Amino acid sequence: MSENTNTGTLPVQEFEYKAEMKQLLDLIVHSLYTHPEIYLRELISNASDALSKVRFNALTDQEIIDREAALAIRISIDPKELTFVIEDSGVGMTEEELIANLGTVAKSGTLGFMQALKEQQKELDGNLIGQFGVGFYSVFMVTDEVTVETRSARPDSDGYRWRSSGQGTYTIEKIDKAERGTKISFKLKETSKEFAEEYRVEQIVKKYSNFVDFPIYLGEKQLNSITALWQRSKSELKDEEVNEFYKFIANDYQDPLDYLPVSVEGMVTFKALLFLPTEAPPEMLYRQGDLENRGPQLYVKKVLIQQECRDLLPEYLRFIAGVVDTEDLSLNVSREIVQSSPVMAKIRQILTGKILGWFETLAQEQPEKFKTFYKAFGPVIKIGLNTDFTNRDKLIELLRFESTKTEVDEYVTLKEYSERMGADQKEIYYHSGSSRAQLLAHPNLEYFQKMGIEVLLLSDPVDVFVIPSIHEYDKKPLKSIEKADIDFSSQKKDAAEPLAENLLKPILQLFRETLGEGIEDVIESHRLVSSPVTLVSGKNGIDSQMEKMMKMMKSDLPPGKRILEVNTSHPIIRNLAGMYMANEHNPLIRTAMKQLYEGALLLEGGLDSTTEFLSRMNELIEAATLSR
Ligand code: ADP
């Protein structure tokens, strides 16, 4: 095999894979692969990680063997024998690590991977493999048996040989291995013989791994160009390469939506390459914006210090992936020091500004991309509004809303709204509810629609917490159209005459008596056009949608009292007034009033029980059919 020999004193030990592992290997070996070439990307990625670790250990003065060894990845192939060998001088593995890393399903992600395969009945392609980090095993796509020889960089380590044909068992034996690091060798299957061809290996390395930070040699020839991507200027970056880099560091299977190279010199010096994912990471969806454990990678003088550095960005921006590399921190700083360092605070501040500027540029120059971004990450911007007060103004500009003047799936900014509102309009109006359709059907909109006044339609549940906190934009107060103190004096009454004052008063009073405690007041409406009544909030009351949200969180909240507005030009109200004049004790009047009120509640989703509503409805139908 090689210069390494079994020491003879220890037997070859055989181990069995755990059950899930067998399933996984079976899938990999027997499924159809669309991209077997990615096995090489995975092996290089593992080697590169191992080299990063050893470089970090060396620089932080940890004890390691072969301190002077060159950090490199070496590939050798034999097109006649179809052998393939990839070797690195990285951290290597101890026996325990071998068992833990290559013998068990270490990651919960792996099980998720199998689940996804089953559910989607997808072909096992390279993208899926990369996404779930089952990297190493992808080698079984191109070979029937793999040998891993490894020696840990820890002092006093021994060498080990791991061997498996991916059939349920693997063996481990102790060997003499002179240098630290890992050597993986195998014979390619006849169907995969292309991977023993020099041009093919070079092609794959260039495609997937050109950015790897350590030299990759094929024989004597170095295949990659190792200037770290984030050290290059924008013009030296190729989309394809940058996209591969993103997938490599972010464990994403999709291309990023966009990327941003950053280079800063001055108070602090750093370079960064940041990525906007195309889709929100899963924890953002199921834990509502919780990006606790994310963040870009932190490099110090080109050495990877932290995989997911939380301190580089404020929490709401931690969905941004990438690399930040600075000269201004010392290599052997501890996590705690990194956290509290003024350098970090400065970098965070600069990056936040750059990122928000980047979003703004996207919005201006690539509106379609921005839309995709906003759909996935809009909620994050809103969270930022309530947490990042220094950048509040910038974040407000990024907000997008549907409105009564936008088509479905189109958005307006506060700026656009405020620029196109009429000269005599003093306020920015919004209306919140559960969906666009429900909002558009609401009677409170009638006046605004009739007068051609734009109203923002807020159907994202977070909106009711965010929007009221903005208070005003461009000196124009933001106001819920539910508020009772909107000035409708410009409303010109046409068609039907409103009720005369002497009838109006007793009718409103009867409404009050009939509805009793449940309601704050009953007043004449100036906003209604075609509906008889509607509910609004008092001057200091909260928006109904907000109340609904608060109730969801704290169920014993007493219901806020609403104001019932009555459209005194509406035929129903006029008829009720007529009935009242004829016989003020007619019970039908009160039944109708209760029904109108509960109908308004029902429309807003605020009617708790429909029992009485329905029996009253039958009573009214009976009365209506009786006279025929
Ligand atoms: P992943 O790379 O996503 O962790 P893999 O299945 O590819 O998953 O590898 C499992 C683990 O085996 C790695 O996390 C690493 O600890 C170890 N490993 C794999 N290859 C090497 C290597 N060349 N040198 C050192 N450790 C390695």
Residue nearest to atom 13 of ligand 1 (CA): 101
pLDDT band at 494 (very low <50, low <70, confident <90, very high): low
Mean of pLDDT values over 145-166: 95
φ, ψ for residue 376 (rounded to 5)?
-80, -35
Mean of pLDDT values over 603-622: 90
Residue 479, beta-bridge partner list: 429
The verdict on the CB of residue 182 being under 6 Å from ligand 1 is: yes
Distance 42 CA to ligand 1 centre (A): 9
Residue nearest to atom 11 of ligand 1 (CA): 101
CA distance 375 to 384: 16
Task: Check residue 167 and give its pLDDT.
Answer: 81
Q: Any idea where the domains of the chain sit in the sequence?
A: 2-222, 229-376, 399-480, 501-626
Q: Give the three-class secondary structure for 243.
A: helix
Q: Which of 49, 132, 216 to mutate to test the pocket of ligand 1 (most atoms within 8 A of CB)?
A: 49
Where would I find the beta strands (DSSP E) of 349-454?
A: 402-403, 428-432
- Write the pLDDT tens digit of every residue in 537-564: 876 666 777 777 676 666 666 667 889 9
Distance 537 CA to ligand 1 centre (A): 60
Please list, residue by residue across 105-140, b when 16 or more beta carbons sit within 10 angstroms of its beta carbon and e when fewer do.
Answer: beeeebeebbeebeeeeeebbbbbbbbbbbbbbbbb
CA distance 82 to 188: 5
Distance 43 CA to ligand 1 centre (A): 8
- Across 34-38, 269-273, 329-333, the highest mean pLDDT is recorded for 269-273
Task: Check residue 438 and give its pLDDT.
Answer: 86
The verdict on the CB of residue 50 being under 6 Å from ligand 1 is: yes
Fold assignment, 399-480: Rossmann fold (3.40.50)
330 vs 615 pLDDT, higher one: 615
Give residue for tokens 């003499």: 176
Mean of pLDDT values over 333-357: 87
The verdict on the CB of residue 91 being under 6 Å from ligand 1 is: yes
Distance 228 CA to ligand 1 centre (A): 22
- Write the pLDDT tens digit of every residue in 577-588: 999 999 999 999
Distance 68 CA to ligand 1 centre (A): 23
Task: Check residue 557 and give its pLDDT.
Answer: 62
Give residue for tokens 């507005």: 565
Residue nearest to atom 12 of ligand 1 (CA): 101
Mean pLDDT for the chain overall = 86
Closest CA to 297 of 210, 376, 230: 230
CATH number 3.30.565.10 given to 2-222:
yes
467 pLDDT exceeds 90? Answer: no
Where would I find the beta strands (DSSP E) of 116-156?
A: 143-151
Task: Check residue 1 and give its pLDDT.
Answer: 40
Residue nearest to atom 9 of ligand 1 (CA): 136
All residues at 6 or more sequence positions from 624 whose CB lies less than 8 Å from its CB, including other chains:
none
The verdict on the CB of residue 101 being under 6 Å from ligand 1 is: yes
Distance 101 CA to ligand 1 centre (A): 6
- Across 4-18, 181-195, 420-434, the highest mean pLDDT is recorded for 181-195
574 pLDDT exceeds 60? Answer: yes
Distance 312 CA to ligand 1 centre (A): 27
Q: Which DSSP state fits 12?
A: P
Distance 331 CA to ligand 1 centre (A): 24
Q: Which of 43, 101, 138 to mutate to test the pocket of ligand 1 (most atoms within 8 A of CB)?
A: 101
Considering the domain 501-626 in this protein, what is its CATH number?
Answer: 1.20.120.790
The verdict on the CB of residue 503 being under 6 Å from ligand 1 is: no
Residue nearest to atom 15 of ligand 1 (CA): 101
306 vs 590 pLDDT, higher one: 590
pLDDT band at 130 (very low <50, low <70, confident <90, very high): very low
Q: Which of 44, 45, 46, 139 to mutate to test the pocket of ligand 1 (most atoms within 8 A of CB)?
A: 46
All residues at 6 or more sequence positions from 266 whose CB lies less than 8 Å from its CB, including other chains:
none
Alpha-carbon Rg for the chain in angstroms: 34
Residue nearest to atom 1 of ligand 1 (CA): 133
554 vs 467 pLDDT, higher one: 467
Task: Check residue 609 and give its pLDDT.
Answer: 87
Architecture of domain 229-376: 2-Layer Sandwich (3.30)
176 vs 114 pLDDT, higher one: 176
Task: Check residue 187 and give its pLDDT.
Answer: 98
Distance 135 CA to ligand 1 centre (A): 8
CA angle 54, 245, 299 (to 5 degrees): 45
- Across 66-80, 203-217, 326-340, the highest mean pLDDT is recorded for 66-80
The verdict on the CB of residue 46 being under 6 Å from ligand 1 is: yes
- Write the pLDDT tens digit of every residue in 206-229: 887 877 889 999 999 999 877 788
Distance 2 CA to ligand 1 centre (A): 23
All residues at 6 or more sequence positions from 67 whose CB lies less than 8 Å from its CB, including other chains:
58
Mean of pLDDT values over 268-284: 88
